[in-house]
Structure formats: structure tokens, C-alpha cells
Amino acid sequence: MCIRNGSHLFFAVFLFLTYLLLVFVFLSYLQGANLLMYLEEVVGTELFSQFVFSYIDTFKFNTVTTGAFRDHFVNFFDKLAATEAESNTTPTKSNKKKKNKNKNTAKDKEDGPSAAAANAVQAIKGLDWNSLFYSTGLPTDVTSFSNSLSKAAEDLARKWIALSATYKTDAPPAGCSATDLEGWSTMQKNVFLETLQNYTKKSLSHPSDVFTVAFLELMDRTYSFGASKNAEIMLRWQTLCLESEAEWIVDPVVDFITSQGRMKFARPLYRLLRASTIGKQIAIDTFEAKKDM
């Protein structure tokens, strides 16, 4: 009995310590993510993107300390501002022509990239790094995690879902066109396709009855998902098409799953192809032919 109670006590302590560890790790990631997003807001997304490339190139294959991160961040923008200021003050033929055409060169410089870098440097000088790194409690500068981009993708998907219920495939939903996705990131396109996938999962009908082949053909004519070479988009689009038994997607699926070996993409598509009526034997034959690659 004592051994049993002792075991229970040990197990309870183990669970408690595991919980504390998970909370600590989770909070650490959240704090780090919030700090990075805050720094992005301080300097601007365009300049922060340049810093990210420089950071990866400088510290790849190495361990980075907090101090090294801070120093590289500060030095990067100092050098960027100095370089751009120098390039804008160096006389060139094009600069001379611009000066002749536009006397308001001071305003040009204020609106140019050097002004953005210089403004970033001034903003960075106002940062309290000790507070950002070591203060306790909730962050004083909480980033606004807006979902406006994902909402736009979800709203567009709902328009197509509404169209699918009418079984009309002669034209896209009212107000929708090929320009809908212009400027969209891969993540937004993924959210659009995932919203359609989630709808089929919640439906009591078979996916092929929810989104017909003709409906998917109309969507592809509108947005050209089938022409995408992005693996994340290909996975989601081909999944939709396989679930709806679109025979014309079989060859692209086979090409995709045999062109790379990442299980994230190959396994679910292999399984869907095997489970479909249009590609069962093709999935088996393809696997047998490629299993020793």
C-alpha cells in the first residue's frame, strides 16, 4: 500500500513538473514571437525582412546569444542607414538630371529609403533592451494579432461554397475573378483551400457531392491552382480534387508524390489516391515502381 501511494505521489510530482516545463517552453516561444513582431513594427516590415536575411546569412550553422542578436540588429540598421545616406549624396549623372528637373531634393530624400533606415535607427535607439529581454509579467507593447488577411481568404471561400450549393458552374461567384488572389501570400491561399476542405469534412455528403468536378474545374480556370508549383498549395488543391474524384488530377498527383520524398506531402496524397475510385490501382503501381528509390 505504501509503495502504491508512493508511486502515485511520484507520478503526481512528475506530471506537475512536466506541466511546468511545458508552460515555460510555451511562454518562452510566445515571448520570443511577440518580441520579433514588436521589432518588426518598430522598423517596418520591408526593412525587417532585409534584417532577417542578413541574420540568417550571418548566424547560419551557429548558436546565437541574446546579446549577439541585439548587437547584430542594431549594427545592421546603422550600416544600412549609413550606406543608403552615402549613396543618396554621391553625385551621379542621374542625380544631376533629377536635381535639374526637381529642385525639391530635400523632400525626395525624406521620402526615400535612406529616410526609412534613418528613422529605424532613431526608433531603435529608444528601445529599452533590458526591459524587452528581462522584465517580468506581460509585455508592455503587445502586438496586435489581426486576422484580417485570413478573414479575407475565408470570406472568399464562403462565396465559392455558396456557389457550390447551387450546382452552377458557368461562372465564378458574383464579384469574383482571377484578380481575387493578386498579392496574396501562400498562407492566404492555404487558408482559402483549407476553408473549403473543412467544409467538406463537416458535410454529411461525400466530398464529390459537395464540390463537383465541374465546380473544381471552374475554380481552377479562375485561380489556376493546378499550375502552382508551391508544394503547400499543391497538397491542398490536389487533396480537394482527389476527394471529389476529379480524374484529371491523377497525373499531377503522381508527378508530385514521385518528385520528392517528404512524407508531409507524399503520404496523405498516396492514401487519398489509394482510397479513390479513380486512382486505386495507379497508387499501387506507382508505389511498387518507386518504393526502392
Q: What are the DSSP calls for 180-234, one per residue?
A: GGTT--HHHHHHHHHHHHHHHHH-SS-HHHHS-HHHHHHHHHHH-GGG---HHHH
Query: In 60-185, which residue ranges form alpha helices assigned H by DSSP?
Result: 66-89, 93-101, 105-111, 113-125, 129-134, 148-164
Q: What is the pTM of this model?
A: 0.63
Do the Cβ atoms of 282 and 273 come closer than 8 Å?
A: yes
* 114 confidence band (pLDDT: 50, 70, 90): low
216, 102: one domain: no
119, 155: one domain: no
> Has residue 193 been placed in a domain?
yes
Higher pLDDT, 92 or 279: 279
Give dist(CA 121, CA 75) in Å, integer: 9
Give mean pLDDT, residues 80-107: 60
> Has residue 93 been placed in a domain?
yes
State yes or no: pLDDT of 1 exceeds 60: no
Give dist(CA 193, CA 196) in Å, integer: 5
22, 130: one domain: yes
> Has residue 245 been placed in a domain?
yes
Quickly count: other Cβ atoms within 10 Å of residue 101's Cβ.
Answer: 7
In the chain, count of helices (H) and strands (E)?
Answer: 15, 0
- Grid cell listed for 52: 532577417
Give mean pLDDT, residues 7-31: 72
Q: Which domain holds residue 226?
A: 148-290
